[in-house]
Amino acid sequence: MTQSPYLGGAYDIDDNLQALEDPEELSSITDEIDGLKDQAQEALDNMPEHLQETSSSGETLQQYVDDLDEWYNELDSIDIEIDSNLKDGELEDRLEEILNEIKEVGCPL
């Protein structure tokens, strides 16, 4: 079991990401990442300013925020559009290509 709710949450999201079968569901996963990032940012913002930059807790929270933001941006940049003119075999290949690209972007935490 992880000691950080952010790590546990990120690992749960990554499990959902690895089990993804429909690229259209990617937006719900990126929403989860964004929500977790917002929680970490809020916790960081609620710390006294001098602790945000000098304590290991502050540095760790800032790293979580940065890593979650990067993860979100990587996933958000993936083109999940599927051309409706593709034939069955091409459609399956494109779907597999998209899912593989999504799953390659693993949890950075």
pLDDT of residue 98: 96
pTM of the predicted protein model: 0.88
pLDDT of residue 86: 85
Specify the amino acid at residue 3.
Q
Distance CA 15, CA 78 (A): 18
What are the tens digits of pLDDT across the range 46-100?
989 888 888 898 999 999 999 999 999 999 999 999 888 888 889 899 999 999 9
Contacts of range 20-23, beta carbons closer than 8 Å, 24 or more positions apart: 20/99, 20/102, 20/103, 21/99, 23/80, 23/82, 23/95, 23/98, 23/99, 23/102
Beta-strand ranges (E) seen in the chain are none
Cβ atoms of 67 and 11 within 8 Å: the answer is: no
